[in-house]
Amino acid sequence: MLIVMTANATDAEVAGVVRAITELGFRAHPMAGATRTAIGITENAGAVDPARFTNMPGVAEAIAVSKPYKLITLECRAERTVVKIGDATIGDGGLALIAGPCAIESREQAFAIAESVRRSGARFFRGGAFKPRSSPYAFAGLGEEALKIMAEIRERFDLKIVTEALDEAGLELVERYADMIQIGARNMQNFSLLRRAGRSGRPVLLKRGMAATLEEWLLAAEYILAEGNDQVVLCERGVRTFSQHARNTLDLAAVPAVRRISHLPVIVDASHGTGKNYLVTPLARAAVAAGADGLMIEVHNQPERALSDGAQALGLEEYEQMVHAVRAIHEIIA
């Protein structure tokens, strides 16, 4: 159930509806918009009787929600969510660039890449501290040491730090150092981790699971919003198919499909989405043309020496050239 308030409903009237929802033992999620406030109801076991609300002062209508998600929808919030970290934004109509290495390998490597991507216009720096690796013997990241390096990078280059938390204990640590918490594809349905991210004060970058439907992905975001955190960015990163020419099949149709349903920003990771250096720039260009709010791109100063995902890393100059191309495309479609 979604309670839509009239355009001129007062704060007291909104509070009255919130109180009525709470008294029923449910949870109220007021979402203030530019023209009106909508209040989502969650934690109700069955259908909620709309008559309980329709006659309350300030209420325009009570809408039964037929889809399993509520808070992420455009019905709930007609204005698009803008995720803000200081003066850096995702979802405000600009093109957000999140760039950096797959993993932080050393201070020198991370600083060289950060300096370069900042110069090419990235406002967000990505770097893995805790890496989910298929093999238990592969390089799994420098852990807290990597977080410390990235905290230095934030100060030195005025970049916002995005890094993955693999579990709840890791999230505790990541939120102390980073600006944005990444939930990886492998954890998209780790519901306790999603709930914990929903209780964090940090924005969350939610990757699509490698075999997740659009609905499952949106429901994963709903978990985060249901806990009170509406600063969520969705990230398409490719899904598994029979295709063998790329690591994953980048599902660019997901971009307009998400935007049709949800107010949340959606970005595209063209690196994990393709797995191959030569595919990254063409697919990044296509993602921007499809309406993505931003890109996540893996960049390395020495791709051939990278400890993880070297095959899909762009070199520093390749990244700079990609930025020129995607900016030009973004300007045309904006």
List contacts with Mn ion (CB under 5 A). Answer: 102, 309
Pick one of Mn ion, ligand PEP, none as the site partner of residue 247 (Cβ within 5 to 8 A by kind): none
Q: Tell me if 291 contacts ligand PEP by CB under 6 A.
A: no
- Of 28 and 193, which has the nearer Cβ to ligand PEP? 193
**Least gap, CB of 248 to Mn ion (angstroms):** 12
Q: Tell me if 272 contacts ligand PEP by CB under 6 A.
A: yes
**Least gap, CB of 208 to Mn ion (angstroms):** 15
Pick one of ligand PEP, Mn ion, none as the site partner of residue 132 (Cβ within 5 to 8 A by kind): ligand PEP
- Restricting to residues 134-173, name those near ligand PEP by CB under 6 A: 164
Q: Tell me if 185 contacts ligand PEP by CB under 6 A.
A: yes
CB 37 within 8 A of CB 76: no
Pick one of Mn ion, ligand PEP, none as the site partner of residue 164 (Cβ within 5 to 8 A by kind): ligand PEP
Pick one of ligand PEP, Mn ion, none as the site partner of residue 222 (Cβ within 5 to 8 A by kind): none
- Restricting to residues 66-125, name those near ligand PEP by CB under 6 A: 102
* Count of C-beta atoms within a 10 Å radius of residue 304: 9
- Of 71 and 165, which has the nearer Cβ to ligand PEP? 165
Q: Tell me if 184 contacts ligand PEP by CB under 6 A.
A: yes
**Least gap, CB of 59 to ligand PEP (angstroms):** 42
Query: Using CB under 6 A, which of 30, 50, 121, 132 touches ligand PEP?
Result: 132
Interface with ligand PEP (CB under 6 A) = 102, 128, 132, 164, 184-186, 207, 237, 269, 272
